[in-house]
Amino acid sequence: MQYRTLGRTGVQVSSLALGAMNFGRIGRTTQDEATAIVDAALEAGINVIDTADIYGDGESEEMVGKAVAGRRDDIVLATKAAMPMGAERNHRGASRRWLVTALDDSLRRLGVDHVDLYQIHRWDPNTSDEETLSALTDLQRAGKIRHFGSSTFPAYRIVQAQWAARENRLSRYVTEQPSYSILQRGVESHVLPVAEEYGLGVLVWSPLASGWLSGAVRAGREVNTHRSAFMPERFDTALPANRARLDAVEQLADVANEAGLTMIQLALGFVTAHPAVTSALIGPRTPDHLHAQLAAADTVLSADVLDAIDGIVAPGTDLAPHEKHDTPPALLDPSLRRR
């Protein structure tokens, strides 16, 4: 396992991090399976566990808390808030009112008195940066969080938040967590360069592109992944974006075979090769999935392999742009761009 410094925090983290979104009802992973996954991950040298309050409406946090009990100090523990937690309109977002409550709820579910990294799950356009950063700074000073970061923020919002922290003499975001894979490279255009400019640690999610890069999705083979059951449109090869992804996957499989690598090694080795990336979040549902992904822990891709990937999916290109999660709201809502 490789270790890197998380931005400018001085905290050493593994190049692969354990994402716990699949713990519980989302991935149908039981507590015993979750604990076995955590045990194996820690044994392999992973020291980061990332979850969020919305994963299973708190179920993932509860399962993580049980799995790490008695060894909390050996783990860089991260969670997130801001996504809706129920129908109540103020039980979401990045207001002081909600973040104070949401963090207490997360700490209770995790069974800890602090988290190492608290992340704003999505940018909240209804709350000012000053409001959010002020609340996070106070929670940090209270000892409930060690550091805080953003997740899936557009590049211009990352810049704005850095400016707001300096202008108001508040603590700043020290990490960003974007979606990044061979098939979704749009963050290379702006988000990753901005993260480098401000010295942010970067924890990338979905490096296997929801299973497209796991080896489970191939031409002429029935798609049989967990995600295809509840997101069928993401794997419907009648759609142009999915046909483009399938074509790219077939070419990437040839590159992997020639290099003596699995598709998982190719995919994880690719994202961790970017100089802005600190860790890649893996989200196994079973111990077998974890072991297949751990095989990529020390994978270093050669320049020839990286060049071959660039020839299949050009740098800065998203093959499924409609699945981007950091698109500015004005591009999605006509009322925000028309008088």
Residues tagged active-site: 55
Report the distance separating Cα 195 and Cα 155, nearest Å: 8
Largest CA distance in the chain: 58
In 3D space, the residue among 195, 185, 160, 201 whose CA is nearest the CA of residue 50 turns out to be 201
8-state DSSP, 142: T
User: What DSSP element (H or E) covers 129?
Assistant: helix 129-141
**CB-based contact 319:248 (threshold 8 Å):** yes
Place of tokens 């549902």: 285
> Which SS3 state, helix, strand or coil, does residue 180 take?
coil
Q: Whole-angstrom distance between the N-terminal and C-terminal Cα of the chain?
A: 54
Report the distance separating Cα 190 and Cα 324, nearest Å: 14
How buried is 319 (Cβ within 10 angstroms: 0-12 exposed, 13-18 middle, 19+ buried)? buried
8-state DSSP, 285: S
**CB-based contact 281:309 (threshold 8 Å):** no
How buried is 265 (Cβ within 10 angstroms: 0-12 exposed, 13-18 middle, 19+ buried)? buried
Report the distance separating Cα 77 and Cα 65, nearest Å: 10
In 3D space, the residue among 6, 91, 13, 32 whose CA is nearest the CA of residue 57 turns out to be 91
Torsion of CA 281, 287, 289, 295, to 10 degrees: 70
Beta bridge partners of 326: none
Beta bridge partners of 117: 78, 147
